[in-house]
Structure 1
Amino acid sequence: MADTRWLDDREMRAWSGFLAASALVNRRLDQQLKDDSGLSHPQYEILVRLAAAPGGELRMTELANGLINSKSGLTYQVTQMEKAGLVRRRSCPSDVRGVFAVLTEAGRARLDQAAPGHVTTVREILIDVLTPEQLDALADGLGEVGRRLRAQGS
């Protein structure tokens, strides 16, 4: 413990601010999505990723990696969404272990219905609160953290 680099006041302020803001932002977005469209935030992000993918489909492993979600967590979310008719699964013809998540028309319609309120809330609680310089610093700093953690396989 003697060689531990403890956080100084500036570093602790940044860490505490990050923890509080990320928890509050996630809570608010989850509530807004549940209230407006009956989706969880992870389910919304799954719909966004699938809608942006060619043919509206992605391999489950690719979807999990893109969402920074565990495979079991993704499987649970996709199962719930499949029951609701928002996605379907299909087997990969070239790999018996491969499974694709496929966006359905109902899923696309739910995304189209949910997106305006979600974007409005993101603007209200984060984007419009910060100056352009703060947005750049946030994007650069958190982007670097994400790149390093992905490179480490976390």
Structure 2
Amino acid sequence: MADDTRWLDDDEHETWMALATLVVRLPAALDRQLQRDSGLSHFEYQVLAGLSHAPERTLRMSVLASFAEGQLPRLSQVAARLEKRGWLTRAPDPTDGRYTLATLTDEGMAALVDSAPGHVDTVRRVVFDSLTKPQVRQLRDIARRINQATGDSTPC
């Protein structure tokens, strides 16, 4: 049986290990900061941020799950916690009752606005401060290519 595996060369392996470490450490760093400063997980922050950019701060739960890169059951658990805090509401979609709409409340928007400065400071410190402007553009282009290769057609 022939081995057709395209093994990584040394440079690719070193790059892969750096990227694999990054995709573990970056979310953990963002989570730690948000938990410490705002009592939010990074996933909860993404949910609130996704709703904040939506028309009327409302999205179908299925769309929100896709935006936040979470499964619907996980999103439902998080939405229930955020709902208890008064930060979002859920209601049947009046245009199609098979769907549920999530809406960011004014209190949820205030929580997002309060947590954003610390989050942005952390993103700037751990991602952008050590990069040049050309490297930032390179990183964006690389991330877009990898996202496209994973089947993500969402524009970033």
Q: Same fold (TM over 0.5)?
A: yes
TM-score tier after normalising by the smaller chain length: over 0.9
Q: Deviations over 1:60-95 (max 9, x none)?
A: 111112222211221121111112211110111121
Q: Which moved more, 1:69-78 or 1:113-122?
A: 69-78
Q: Deviations over 1:26-84 (max 9, x none)?
A: 11110100011100001001111111111111111111122222112211211111122
1:2 pairs with 2:15: no
1:96 pairs with 2:97: yes
Structure-1 separation of matches of 2:122 and 2:70: 23
Quickly say closer, same or farther: Cα 1:76–1:150, change in 2 above 3 A: farther
How is 1:63-82 mapped onto 2 (pairs within 5 angstroms)? 63-82=64-83
1:117 pairs with 2:118: yes
Aligned equivalent of 1:108: 109
Aligned equivalent of 2:12: 11
Q: How many positions carry a matched residue from both structures?
A: 152
Q: Deviations over 1:104-128 (max 9, x none)?
A: 1110110010000000000001111
Greater helix fraction, Structure 1 or Structure 2: 1
Quickly say closer, same or farther: Cα 1:111–1:151, change in 2 above 3 A: closer
TM-score (norm 2): 0.91
Quickly say closer, same or farther: Cα 1:150–1:79, change in 2 above 3 A: farther
SS in 2 for 1:129: coil
Give the Å deviation of 1:151. Answer: 5.2
TM-score (norm 1): 0.93
Aligned equivalent of 1:33: 34
